[in-house]
Homo-oligomer: A and B are copies of this chain.
Amino acid sequence: MFSYLLIMKQDKILLAHGSGGRLSRQLIQELILPHLGNPTLSRLDDAAQLKIKSDRIAFTTDSFVVDPIFFPGGDIGKLAVCGTVNDLAMSGALPKYLSLALILEEGLPLADLERIILSVKHATAEAGVQVVTGDIKVVRRGEAHKIFINTAGIGVIPAGVNISGDKVTVGDKLIVSGNLGEHALAVMANRVGIEFNPALLSDVAPLSDLVADMLNVCPQVHALRDPTRGGLAGTLNELAQAAQVGIMVQEGCIPVTEAVAGACELLGFDPLYLANEGKLLVSVAAADADKLLAQMRRHKYGVQAQIIGEVIAEPKGLVQLKTSIGGTRILDIPAGEQTPRIC
C-alpha cells in the first residue's frame, strides 16, 4: 500500500525507477505491461525465449535520440519501432520481435513516458511485431536529454530471399517509394519553432508490409535500403561503394513535394541529404522494374513511388546526378551533419 501511494504521488521519473527495486517493478507492472504485455514479455525473465521457424534470421539495432521527442507526425516511440522494423524489412526479413531499452532522465514526466509507450504499442500493432524483452535505466538530471530509446529487432528471412547492398548490379533500376525529406524537416522545423500551413508531417511509418507486397511480386529484388541519416544521397553512396558500381540518378524524377522544396530553400537544406523514416530505395533488375513499381504504387506507403535512376558500370563507387537543367554533378556523401538528433 505504501509503495502504491509512492508511485501515485509521483508524476515524474525518479532515480529509483531504474534501481531494479520496488519502483522499477511498479513502473513495469503499471505502465509498461498494461500496454505492451504479452506472454513472453510478461514473464520478466532475464531473456525472452522464442520459437523460430526458419534457419535464417535478421538482427539489427538502433538507438533513438530525436529532439524534440514529440514532433509533427510522430514521436520517439513510433520512431524507435519503425526504425528497427524498417532495418529488418530492408534485409527482406519479416519483422517478428523487438527489444525496448529506455534510458530516462530523472524528472521526465510519467505522462510523457506513457504517451511514448502508447505510441510504441500502436506502431508495433501496425508492424505486426511484439516487444519481448526490455530494460529501463534512469540517469540523473542533466546526464541525458529526456529519453533515449534503443530497439533491437529479430526478423525471419523467407526462403529464396537474398538481399544485400553488394547484390546491386549494373543495369538495375533504382526506385524510391515516395516523397523525400519530410521526417527531417518536420523535426527540425518543430525544434526551431517554425510552423507550416498545412503542417509538415514526419513520414515515419513501418515499411514491412510494403516490402512483403514487393517480395510477393518480385522476390529477386537485389537491394533494399531506407534512406534515413545521410538521406538519399548517403544511401546511394553506400550502395555504390558496397557493390563497386556507378549510379546515375535523374534530379527531375526524384519525388519531393513543393512544401518540402520550399522549406528546404528557406532553411538552407538539400532534400537529398535529409533523413526519411518511412521511405525505401530498391535496386531491381530493369526487366522487373515496371512490375515492381506498379505493385509499390498500390500500397499506401508507396503511392508516390518513382524510378529515379539506374546502376552503371563506371565510375565505380560514385553517384552522379543529372540535374533538371541538363548538367551532371557528383552527389557526394555528406561530411558533416545538417541535422543533429534527427532520429
When C-beta atoms are compared, the residue in chain B nearest to A161 turns out to be B49
A340 at the interface (CB under 8 A from B): yes
Contact assessment for B99 and A63 in the assembled complex, using a CB-CB cutoff below 8 Å: no
Contact assessment for B47 and A87 in the assembled complex, using a CB-CB cutoff below 8 Å: yes
A9 at the interface (CB under 8 A from B): no
A112 at the interface (CB under 8 A from B): no
In the bound complex, residues from chain B placing their C-beta under 8 Å from that of A132 are 59
A62 at the interface (CB under 8 A from B): yes
**From B25, B157, B338, contact of A49 by CB (8 A):** B157
From A24, A54, A86, name the one whose CB has the most chain B CB atoms within 10 angstroms: A24
Contact assessment for B49 and A337 in the assembled complex, using a CB-CB cutoff below 8 Å: no
What string of 1s and 0s marks CB contacts (under 8 Å) between A326-343 and chain B? 000000011111101100
A302 at the interface (CB under 8 A from B): no
Contact assessment for B61 and A152 in the assembled complex, using a CB-CB cutoff below 8 Å: yes
Contact assessment for B65 and A103 in the assembled complex, using a CB-CB cutoff below 8 Å: yes
Q: Which of A70-78, A198-206, A221-229, A261-269 contacts B (4 or more CB under 8 A)?
A: A221-229
| Known interface pairs A6-B335, A43-B166, A337-B15; A48-B20 also in contact (CB < 8 Å) | no
From A47, A53, A58, A88, name the one whose CB has the most chain B CB atoms within 10 angstroms: A47
When C-beta atoms are compared, the residue in chain B nearest to A96 turns out to be B59
| Known interface pairs A46-B226, A56-B52, A335-B6; A61-B165 also in contact (CB < 8 Å) | no
A234 at the interface (CB under 8 A from B): yes
A120 at the interface (CB under 8 A from B): no
Copies of this protein in the complex: 2
A278 at the interface (CB under 8 A from B): no
Contact assessment for A16 and B99 in the assembled complex, using a CB-CB cutoff below 8 Å: no
In the bound complex, residues from chain B placing their C-beta under 8 Å from that of A150 are 61, 63, 101, 135, 150, 152
Q: Report the bound CA distance from A132 to B275 in whole Å.
A: 24
Q: Which of A137-145, A186-194, A285-293, A313-321 contacts B (4 or more CB under 8 A)?
A: A137-145
Rounded to whole Å, the gap between the CB of A299 and the closest CB of chain B is 20
A108 at the interface (CB under 8 A from B): no
Q: Report the bound CA distance from A157 to B49 in whole Å.
A: 8
In the bound complex, residues from chain B placing their C-beta under 8 Å from that of A87 are 46-47
A181 at the interface (CB under 8 A from B): no
Contact assessment for A21 and B336 in the assembled complex, using a CB-CB cutoff below 8 Å: yes
A8 at the interface (CB under 8 A from B): no
Within 8 A of B (CB), among A154-197: 154-155, 157, 164-166
In the bound complex, residues from chain B placing their C-beta under 8 Å from that of A306 are none
| Known interface pairs A60-B133, A132-B59, A145-B143; A88-B333 also in contact (CB < 8 Å) | no
| A residues neighboring B (CB under 8 Å) | 3, 6, 15-16, 18-25, 43-65, 67, 86-88, 90-91, 93, 97, 99-103, 132-135, 137-140, 142-145, 148, 150, 152-155, 157, 164-166, 225-226, 228-230, 234, 238, 242, 275, 333-338, 340-341
